[in-house]
Amino acid sequence: MQIAVVGSGYVGLVAAACFAEIGHQVISIDNDAQKISRLQQGEVPIHEEHLPELLERHRGKALKFSTDLVGAVRQSAAIFIAVGTPSTEEGDADLSYVESVSRAVASAINDYKIVVEKSTVPVFTSNWIRKVMLLDGAPSELFDVASNPEFLREGTAVVDFLYPDRIVTGADTERCSSALCEIYRPLTDGSYYSRTDRAAVPAPAGWSAPARLIATSTKSAEIIKHASNAFLATKISFINAVANICEAVGADVKEVCQGIGSDSRIGSRFLNPGVGYGGSCFPKDLKAFRHVARENGYDFNLLSAVIAINDEQRTRFLRKVRTALWTLKGKKLAALGLAFKGGTDDIRESPAIEIAKSLLKEGCEIRAYDPAAIERSREVLPSKGISYHDSAYSAAEGADALLILTDWPEFANLDLERLRSTLGYPIVVDGRNLYDPTTMASHGFLYYSIGRADVQPAHRNGSPEKMATATSGKAAK
């Protein structure tokens, strides 16, 4: 099928490349002419595993890049809208980009099309797209509007697209629903996985083919996306709240996570305490979902609590840093991680960025390292008081403490002896619980983590000495 994907950001570019990979002819559309030119020349604007290989494989063949939206619409049977939907000051989603694209699509329609929401949008957006297109002259019999929410995690988006646990299609006519089913047929009937010419993208552990397709109404599909993200964010805030209780009473949150995560009704995923969630999805989607609920007469207080707990987690981490160092002004701190999570260069709503800003305001000197997000971080962080480094060890050189802010795999596999000798003082404040406290103590570190007792360097007999829990608890309150 001929497909147009409007928007070449994290969602749009991955979707375009993966649609080409499963056998469609795809045009990726963006109004940023410079960005399209770079894509045509082979540049990859985002950090995403396997994406460079797919773009190189299909660029100029099954995948083309263009700024000509009207031309792409007229050539295509399906138009996927994957533009940004940022939060407004009131917390609802800014749908002006979606509206603009809808008007342009309406003016270009020359035969039957399906117009598919791929962006994360609130319920009723499909209704508004249809109204806008009708007002702009699109004949009602020549288009249907559908919802096809994405469930892609940044850093593993290509794998998530090609090996999904479910595909949700929301349509209100049989004709539209059938077209969406046809688009995803290579994944749902398993034919893509039997091809010998497919890209070498490994399946995730535990995945089994074929993908499950869930066909719903457009409104249900729109709510599924917001509800999914809200639930996952709730799990994160819940375990962070539990971690805070563990710190107060002297329990170990890792042991607690094992106990509750082994319950098949709960599961262990997203039960990872830390400095809170971030990124382009969870923060804005929770606010948008709460706004939709209020607009329709329901006060979704649970989401307000989830957001408040997440915001508080950053403050608690800063207090933990202060507990470790006493005073902050003039302290030299190595900060590992700037992206909101490992595997991506996305710094939107990144807890690491907000923590770095707060520490700079306190008069700290920040020595930062991130495998992918340094250039993007330069655009939002103050130039004064921060330096950027090409390795964790370079950032740690002579630092008063090391802060782990992002869960990059390489941060969990540092040479601890080398790190110990590189730091000015052997203090590690781990905001992602990447290390075992006993191991850190045995290597001579004062180690602070989330939801676990702080430890001092091991005694000569090799056993770590737990620091005064009462002191830690007071500092965290």
Encode 304-344 in three state secondary structure: HHHHHHHHHHHHHHHHHHHHHHCCCCCCEEEEECCCCCCCC
Region of residue 326 (phi > 0: left; psi between -120 and 50: alpha; otherwise: beta): left
Q: Phi, psi (5° rounding) for residue 172? A: -115, 5
Comparing CA positions, the residue from 329, 361, 305, 312 lying closest to residue 477 is: 312
Token reading at 192: 């893509």
Q: What is the DSSP letter of 269?
A: T
Cα 50 to the center of its chain, rounded Å: 16
Specify the DSSP element, H or E, that contains 377.
Answer: helix 374-378
Comparing CA positions, the residue from 89, 91, 64, 93 lying closest to residue 5 is: 64
Q: Could you write out the DSSP letters of every residue in 34-90?
A: HHHHHHHTT---S--TTHHHHHHHHBTTTEEEES-HHHHHHH-SEEEE-----B-TT
246 is catalytic: no
Residues 349 and 371: their CA atoms lie apart, in Å, by 18
Strands 465-466 and 455-456: antiparallel
Which residue of the set 176, 246, 281, 364 is catalytic? 281
Catalytic residues: 281
